[in-house]
Structure 1
Amino acid sequence: MSEPVGCEDNPVMHLRLIVPSDRTDRVLNTLVADQRVTSIVALPGAAHRPSGDVIECDVTREATSDVLSWLKKQGLYDEGSVALSPVGATPSRNARETEKAAPGAPDDAVIWDAVVDQAYNEASGSWAYYTFLTLATMIAAVAVVTDSSILVVGAMVVGPEFGVVAALAVGLTLRRKGLCWQSVRLLVLGFALAIVLTAIAALLARAVGWIDTENVTAARPLTGFIWRPDKWSAVVAVLAGAAGVLSQTAGRANALVGVFISVTTVPAAGDLALSTALWVPDHIGGAAAQLGINLAGMTAAGVVTLLLQRFIWRQYIVRRRPGASVEA
C-alpha cells in the first residue's frame, strides 16, 4: 500500500506549480499575500509540458487543502500542473512563523486532494496487489493447518486490502460512484482470486497427503477465532477501520501496522479457502461471516471517521478564520 501523503515530523508541504502565463501574477500575488505560505520561488517560462511558469512554495499542512482548492478554481488542475510532496524538515524561524499563522494542528488537517488521489491509486489494482493478497491468504491457510498465531499475524501484515477498503470509504464519503465501483470490484476480484488459488493449493496438498479434514475440524486454540465471529469481531473491525483511515489522513503511516494485525480479513479468507477445499460447511459459513463483518465494519468506520474529520475541521476553520473555504 502506498504511503499516506504527509510527514510525521514536519507540518509543511511543498507545492510545485506550472501556471499558465496569463495567471502567473494572480497566483504569485495570492501566495505571497498568504501568511501560511513561505519559500516562494518563481521561474518564468521554465515549464514545457505543459508550458507555463513554474512556481514553488511551502505551505503549512493546515492550509494545504485551502490553497489547493483555490488553485483548482484558477484552472491549474486542467491547464497547468500541481505536484504535492512532504517536506522532511524546515529548521528555520521563517517556517516556524508561517506555521503559527495557520489555525489548528497539522495532524488534524486533511489534505483532501491527496486523499482522493491516493484512493484512486489504491483502487486501480495491480498484479502486485493480487499477488500479495494471494500469498497472504495462503499463509493464513497454513496458519490454520498448523494452528499458528504467528503465521496469522504474518498473513495480516502481508495483506494489502486495507488501502482498497479506505478507498471505498473515501468514495462513499465524497459520493464518487466511480471510485466506489473500482474499490468494490477490486475487493471482490482480489479475494475471489486469492481464495480460489488457495483452495487449489489446498486440494493439491490433500492429494499428496499433507493435510486432511481433521486439520480444519480439530481443536485450534490459537486460530479457532477465525471462523467463529462474535460481537468483538465487529468492535475490532470498527476500531481498526477508524484508526486506519485516521492514520492515512493524518500522515501517520506507522499506525497502519497495528491496523493490519487487528483485523481478520485475510485469515478469514484463508480459512474459507481451506474449508471449501476440504469441504467443512460449518467453517465455510463462519469464515465467510468473519470476512464480511471485517470488511463492512472497516468501511463503515472509515466513512464515519472521514465525515467527522470534514465536519470538525470545517467548524474549526470557520471559528478561527471567518470566511475561509476548505473544500474536498
Structure 2
Amino acid sequence: MLESLDQQGVDYAVFEEVGRGDFEAMVQFPVPPSGVETVMEELTNAGVRDDSYTIVLPTETVVSQRISALKERFPGLRISREELHARSEDLAPANSTFFSFLILSTIIAATGLLLDSAATIIGAMVVAPLMGPAVSASVGAVLADRQMASRGVVLQVLGLLAAIATAAVFGVVLQETILIPPGLDIQSIPQVAERTSPNVLSLFLALGSGIAGAISIMRGSGSTLVGVAIAVALVPPAATSGLGLAFGLPGVAVAGAVLVVINLLAINLSALILFYLSGFKPFDTDQRERVKASIASRIAVIGVAIAVLSLVLAGVTYASFQTASFEQQTQVELQRQFDEADIEGVELVSVTVEYEPADLILGNQPRVDVLVGIPRDLQAPPDLAQRFDDRLTEQFDRDVVVRVGFVEAQVSDDTATRASVSGSAFDRTARFDRTTRGRHA
C-alpha cells in the first residue's frame, strides 16, 4: 500500500493501530476529491481491499508542497464513486421516514392548491423527500448496485401513488366539511389550472431538475435547494391528480397524472445520462460492459416513454396556442369593427372569450361574450349578436356562440366617452338586452 502511494506522489502518515482485529496500522493521506477514485483503484490493484477499512473524510485545509501537484494531476470537481454511493444511500431514508414526509408534503401541497397559494406549495416542497429515490435509482444503475437501483424505483412509484391517494382522500374529507365552499370548481383555481394544462415547457423543468440534482450530488453543493426543485416537478401535479379524483373530474386527474409521470421519467433520464457521462463506473471491472448495455437499454426505454407522452404535451401546447390566438384575434377584430362603425356614444366595454384547450380538443365551440355601452336614447340593434357571429365565423372559419349585453352609457360634454356600468356584464338588473342568436353545431 505505501509503495503504491509513493508511486502516486501522495503524502501519508502511518499510525500504529491497537484493536480487536488483525490490523497493524492506520494510514492517512490527503487527496483532492477528484483523485479519490483513482487512488482507491490503485490501492485495490495493490491488494488493499478485503482485509482493510477505507474511510473517506472531508478536509478543511491541507498544507503540503505536493498537494498542488496532486490537484494538477486530478483536475475536476466531481466526487469519487465511493462517496457518490454513500451519499445516495443517505438520500433515500427509511420507508417510515420517507412516507411520513411524503404524506405531509402532499397534504400541504393540496392545501396550497386549494388556497391558490404558491408560497404554501413551495413550502410543501421543502418537506418532500423525492430527491433521494430519483438520484439513488440512477446511481444504483450506473454503479451496478441492483438493490439501490430497485429501491429507488420502488420508492418513486409507490411514493407518487401514495401522494395521489393522499390528495384524493384529503379532498374527499374536505368536501364533507365547511372548510371549502360547496360546489367549488377546482379547475377555476389558477394553481390547479396550471397543472391541468401541461405543455412542452414542463418537460424542460423536469430535465433541468434532474440535471441539477445530479450535479449537486456529484459536487456536494446545494442538494437541499435542488431537492425542492425536483419536488416542485412531482408533488404538485400528483396532488392535483388526487384532487381531480376527489372532486370527480377525470380530466384533471389524468392531466395531473400525465404531467407527474413524464416529469418523473425526465428526471431519471437526465440524472442517469449525466452520471454515466461523468465517468462513474461499477466497483467490479467485470460488470462494466454489462452495465453499459443495461444503461443503454434503460435510456432507450425511458426515452421512448417520454417521446410518447410528449405527444400529449405537444397537443396541449398547440391547443393552448390556438385558443390564446383566437381570443386575442377576436378581441382585435371586434374592436376594429367598433372603430370602423364610429357611432357616437357607443363603446365596446369588454370582450370575454371562453375557449379552453380542452374545448379545442373536444371540438366544442368557443363562446364570446360582448358587453356594449350604449346611450339611453339609442335603440340597440336586435341582430348584433348574429352579425358578430357571422363576421367571426367568416374571419376565422370556425363556428362560435356570441352573446351581447348592453349597458347604459353617458357621454360628457367633451370628446371623452365613458360607460357607466351597473352590475356585471350580464346582470339582469342593468338595462339589458340579451341577444343569444349564436350559431350552434
Q: Fold-level match, TM-score > 0.5?
A: yes
Does residue 71 of the first structure (1) align with residue 39 of the second (2)?
Answer: no
Q: 1:206 aligns with which of 175, 196, 201?
A: 175
Q: TM-score, normalised by structure 2?
A: 0.58
Give how far 1:74 is off: 4.8
Does residue 137 of the first structure (1) align with residue 137 of the second (2)?
Answer: no
Does residue 125 of the first structure (1) align with residue 97 of the second (2)?
Answer: no
Are 1:244 and 1:256, in contact at CA under 8 Å, matched by a contact in 2? Answer: no
Partner of 2:246: 277
Give how far 1:171 is off: 2.4
C-alpha separation in 2, matches of 1:258 and 1:213: 38
C-alpha separation in 1, matches of 2:88 and 2:212: 16
Q: 2:6 aligns with which of 18, 24, 32?
A: 32
String of CA shifts for 1:120-159, please: whole Å, max 9, x gaps: 3434633222111111111110011001111121122221
Partner of 1:156: 125
| Aligned CA distance change for structure 1 residues 234 and 118 (closer, same or farther; 3 Å) | same
Does residue 257 of the first structure (1) align with residue 225 of the second (2)?
Answer: yes
Q: 1:310 aligns with which of 269, 279, 283?
A: 279
Are 1:123 and 1:179, in contact at CA under 8 Å, matched by a contact in 2? Answer: no
Amino acid corresponding to residue 31 of structure 1 in structure 2: L
Are 2:91 and 2:131, in contact at CA under 8 Å, matched by a contact in 1? Answer: no
Q: 2:65 aligns with which of 94, 114, 121?
A: 94
| Aligned CA distance change for structure 1 residues 61 and 258 (closer, same or farther; 3 Å) | closer
More helix by share: 1
Give how far 1:190 is off: 2.3
Are 2:92 and 2:152, in contact at CA under 8 Å, matched by a contact in 1? Answer: yes
C-alpha separation in 1, matches of 2:243 and 2:270: 29
| Aligned CA distance change for structure 1 residues 78 and 211 (closer, same or farther; 3 Å) | farther
C-alpha separation in 1, matches of 2:33 and 2:179: 55
3-state SS of the aligned residue for 1:64? helix
Aligned ranges 1:168-207 → 2 under 5 Å: 168-207=137-176
Give how far 1:76 is off: 4.3
Partner of 1:242: 211
Measured on the aligned residues, the alpha-carbon RMSD in Å equals 2.7
Are 1:134 and 1:195, in contact at CA under 8 Å, matched by a contact in 2? Answer: no
| Aligned CA distance change for structure 1 residues 127 and 88 (closer, same or farther; 3 Å) | farther
Aligned length: 281
C-alpha separation in 2, matches of 1:75 and 1:122: 31
Partner of 1:20: none
Are 1:124 and 1:182, in contact at CA under 8 Å, matched by a contact in 2? Answer: no
C-alpha separation in 2, matches of 1:193 and 1:115: 28
String of CA shifts for 1:188-225, please: whole Å, max 9, x gaps: 22233333334333322222232367545342234422
| Aligned CA distance change for structure 1 residues 111 and 216 (closer, same or farther; 3 Å) | farther
Are 1:149 and 1:223, in contact at CA under 8 Å, matched by a contact in 2? Answer: no
Give how far 1:95 is off: 6.3
Does residue 45 of the first structure (1) align with residue 2 of the second (2)?
Answer: no
Give how far 1:242 is off: 0.8
> Where do 5+ consecutive residues of structure 2 fail to align?
282-291, 293-441
C-alpha separation in 1, matches of 2:181 and 2:146: 44
Are 1:145 and 1:215, in contact at CA under 8 Å, matched by a contact in 2? Answer: no
Q: 1:226 aligns with which of 195, 211, 227?
A: 195
Partner of 1:293: 262
Amino acid corresponding to residue 94 of structure 1 in structure 2: Q
C-alpha separation in 2, matches of 1:98 and 1:50: 35
| Aligned CA distance change for structure 1 residues 212 and 172 (closer, same or farther; 3 Å) | farther
Give how far 1:245 is off: 0.2
Are 1:157 and 1:261, in contact at CA under 8 Å, matched by a contact in 2? Answer: no
Are 1:216 and 1:275, in contact at CA under 8 Å, matched by a contact in 2? Answer: no
3-state SS of the aligned residue for 1:303? helix
C-alpha separation in 2, matches of 1:46 and 1:28: 19
C-alpha separation in 2, matches of 1:216 and 1:131: 29
C-alpha separation in 1, matches of 2:233 and 2:102: 13
3-state SS of the aligned residue for 1:243? helix
3-state SS of the aligned residue for 1:264? helix
Does residue 58 of the first structure (1) align with residue 27 of the second (2)?
Answer: no
C-alpha separation in 1, matches of 2:43 and 2:146: 25
Are 1:241 and 1:259, in contact at CA under 8 Å, matched by a contact in 2? Answer: no
3-state SS of the aligned residue for 1:210? coil
| Aligned CA distance change for structure 1 residues 44 and 201 (closer, same or farther; 3 Å) | same
Give how far 1:47 is off: 4.1
Q: TM-score, normalised by structure 1?
A: 0.76
C-alpha separation in 1, matches of 2:245 and 2:194: 17
Amino acid corresponding to residue 6 of structure 2 in structure 1: V
Partner of 1:103: 74
Give the fraction of aligned pairs with identical amino acids, expressed as a percent.
22
C-alpha separation in 1, matches of 2:194 and 2:50: 51
C-alpha separation in 1, matches of 2:37 and 2:185: 51
Give how far 1:77 is off: 4.1
C-alpha separation in 1, matches of 2:186 and 2:48: 60
3-state SS of the aligned residue for 2:18? strand
3-state SS of the aligned residue for 1:247? helix
Are 2:137 and 2:153, in contact at CA under 8 Å, matched by a contact in 1? Answer: yes
Q: Which fold has the larger relative contact order, with Cα–Cα distance below 8 Å and residues 6 or more apart in sequence?
A: 1
| Aligned CA distance change for structure 1 residues 118 and 152 (closer, same or farther; 3 Å) | same
